[in-house]
């Protein structure tokens, strides 16, 4: 375990916001965390868990203790002729896990290539992209209760996964340190059928442009990486935390009324009868795309991504986000909820 005082978090959040942690601990094992809980000096302190910092918004210096999860490890923990269970330490880089599986022909995570962050945060918001979500392959996770250090196992129903959502954002918010996550994947081999998800957005077009004649996990993940590299701002160059808001799902009746007024509105009917409307389209329609106020802006190609041009504070980003929410509400009557976690 590594402990530091007054640690700058600027390089540890992809928004690149300057804020400090009164106490900062990097843990490399379950035992590290349990040792930390036994330290009297830390007993009354608020404990916040940090992964790769790619889905947080810092709104000031943090007293208490920020715990960076660096628990490593990856292993196959179960195997049949056609399936495999892979368990990864919460501190592993998510994209490294995806590529580890792709290289071994374990199918199921390939559409989630190049999502920033660490494995431990993936179930927190049930990360998703290009028609796949963590919940599709999730087998279970292990966590420690932050209050006591007690080990707890979570099954899929325990996690209450929803669209970019889980129990860890609600009832158990701030109460668990996820230490490992397991995935049940398809073991590709001759005779095993697998349905690749390529119908989403421009994945098919990217595969065609790459002249892929036979689908493979590598081809699909390469296509997705290529789309992401061209469409999304690189946080190393321009501070951002990906989509700032979730895509809202509205009642079908509400959608029908909106569609009369805005026939071009993109829409995706959901299994629960609601209709998903891309937040990016709503924001762009209100004129925000490419707009900049001081150090904060709405990205020029991705209206859903707010960016820090340098020197922005969390409060600047929150004020900009609130103005966007107001104009979307005024024009379309739709409430946008932030996807990013206030830290």
Q: Site residues (CB under 6 A) for ligand NAP?
A: 128-130, 200-201, 231-232, 242-243, 247, 268, 278, 280, 302, 339
Residue whose entry in the numeric block shows the structure tokens 């990217």: 206
User: If binding is defined by CB under 6 A, does position 53 make contact with ligand FAD?
Assistant: yes
Q: State which of residues 101, 107, 227, 241 lies at the interface with ligand FAD (CB under 6 A).
A: 241
Quote the least distance from Cβ 164 to ligand FAD, whole Å.
Answer: 6
User: If binding is defined by CB under 6 A, does position 52 make contact with ligand FAD?
Assistant: yes
CB under 8 Å to 87, separation ≥6 — which residues? 73, 74, 75, 76, 77, 180, 181, 182, 183
User: If binding is defined by CB under 6 A, does position 14 make contact with ligand FAD?
Assistant: yes
User: Among ligand NAP, ligand FAD, none, what binds residue 221 when CB lies within 5 to 8 Å by partner kind?
Assistant: none
- Structure tokens that stand for 155 in this block: 């099954």
- Structure tokens that stand for 328 in this block: 């979307």
Q: State which of residues 90, 92, 304, 336 lies at the interface with ligand FAD (CB under 6 A).
A: 90
Q: Is 214 a catalytic residue?
A: no
Strands 74-79 and 62-69: unpaired
Catalytic residue among 164, 180, 221, 249: 164
User: If binding is defined by CB under 6 A, does position 146 make contact with ligand FAD?
Assistant: no
User: Among ligand FAD, ligand NAP, none, what binds residue 178 when CB lies within 5 to 8 Å by partner kind?
Assistant: ligand FAD
- Structure tokens that stand for 168 in this block: 């860890």
User: If binding is defined by CB under 6 A, does position 341 make contact with ligand FAD?
Assistant: yes
The interface region with ligand FAD, picked from 57-65, 125-133, 271-279, 311-319 by CB under 6 A, is 125-133
Q: Which is nearer to ligand NAP, 81 or 271 (CB)?
A: 271
- Exposed / middle / buried, residue 195 (Cβ in 10 Å: 0-12, 13-18, 19+): exposed
CB under 8 Å to 44, separation ≥6 — which residues? none
The beta-strand segments (E) located in 206-320 are: 239-243, 249-250, 268-269, 275-276, 292-293, 296-298, 305-308
- Exposed / middle / buried, residue 286 (Cβ in 10 Å: 0-12, 13-18, 19+): buried
Q: Is 243 a catalytic residue?
A: yes
Quote the least distance from Cβ 258 to ligand FAD, whole Å.
Answer: 25
User: If binding is defined by CB under 6 A, does position 177 make contact with ligand FAD?
Assistant: yes
Instruction: Collapse the DSSP code of 135 into the 3-class scheme (helix H, G, I; strand E, B; otherwise coil) and give the result.
Output: helix
Q: State which of residues 69, 111, 198, 221 lies at the interface with ligand FAD (CB under 6 A).
A: 69
Q: How far is CA 150 from CA 31, 89, 142, in A?
A: 11, 17, 11
Quote the least distance from Cβ 230 to ligand NAP, whole Å.
Answer: 10
Q: Is 331 a catalytic residue?
A: no
CB under 8 Å to 275, separation ≥6 — which residues? 249, 250, 251, 252, 254, 255, 267, 268, 269
Rounded to whole angstroms, the Cα distance separating 244 from 260 reads: 28
Rounded to whole angstroms, the Cα distance separating 86 from 149 reads: 24
Quote the least distance from Cβ 159 to ligand FAD, whole Å.
Answer: 12
Q: Which is nearer to ligand NAP, 70 or 198 (CB)?
A: 198
Q: Which is nearer to ligand NAP, 73 or 201 (CB)?
A: 201
Q: Which is nearer to ligand NAP, 162 or 278 (CB)?
A: 278
User: If binding is defined by CB under 6 A, does position 242 make contact with ligand FAD?
Assistant: yes
Annotated catalytic sites, by residue? Answer: 164, 243, 339
Which residues form the interface with ligand FAD (CB under 6 A)? Answer: 14, 49-56, 69, 90, 115-118, 120-122, 124-125, 127-129, 164, 168, 176-178, 232, 235, 240-242, 341
């Amino acid at each position: 375990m590594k402990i530091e005082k007054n640690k700058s978090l600027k390089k540890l959040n992809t928004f690149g916001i300057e804020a400090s942690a009164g106490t900062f601990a990097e843990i490399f094992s379950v035992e590290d965390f349990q040792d930390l809980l036994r330290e009297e000096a830390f007993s009354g302190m608020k404990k916040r868990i940090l992964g790769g910092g790619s889905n947080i918004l810092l709104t000031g210096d943090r007293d208490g203790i920020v715990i960076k999860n660096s628990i490593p490890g990856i292993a196959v923990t179960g195997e049949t002729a056609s399936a495999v269970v892979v368990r990864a330490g919460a501190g592993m880089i998510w994209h490294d896990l995806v590529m580890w599986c792709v290289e071994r022909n374990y199918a199921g995570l390939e559409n989630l290539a190049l999502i920033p962050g660490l494995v431990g945060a993936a179930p927190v918001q049930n990360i998703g992209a290009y028609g796949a979500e963590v919940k599709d392959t999730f087998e279970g996770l292990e966590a420690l209760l932050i209050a006591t250090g007690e080990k707890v196992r979570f099954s899929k129903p325990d996690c209450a996964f929803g669209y970019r959502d889980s129990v860890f954002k609600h009832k158990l918010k701030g109460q668990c340190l996820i230490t490992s996550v397991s995935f049940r994947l398809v073991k590709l081999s001759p005779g095993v059928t697998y349905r690749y998800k390529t119908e989403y957005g421009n994945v098919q077009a990217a595969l065609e442009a790459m002249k892929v004649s036979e689908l493979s996990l590598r081809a699909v993940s390469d296509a997705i990486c290529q789309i992401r590299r061209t469409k999304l701002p690189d946080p190393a160059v321009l501070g951002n935390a990906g989509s700032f808001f979730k895509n809202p799902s509205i009642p079908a009746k509400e959608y029908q009324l909106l569609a009369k007024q805005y026939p071009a509105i993109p829409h995706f009917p959901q299994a629960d009868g609601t209709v998903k409307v891309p937040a990016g389209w709503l924001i762009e329609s209100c004129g925000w795309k490419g707009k900049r106020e001081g150090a904060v802006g709405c990205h020029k190609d991705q209206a859903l991504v707010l960016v820090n041009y340098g020197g922005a504070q969390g409060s600047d980003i929150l004020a900009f986000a609130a103005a966007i929410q107001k104009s979307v509400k005024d024009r379309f009557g739709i409430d946008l909820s932030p996807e990013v976690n206030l830290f």
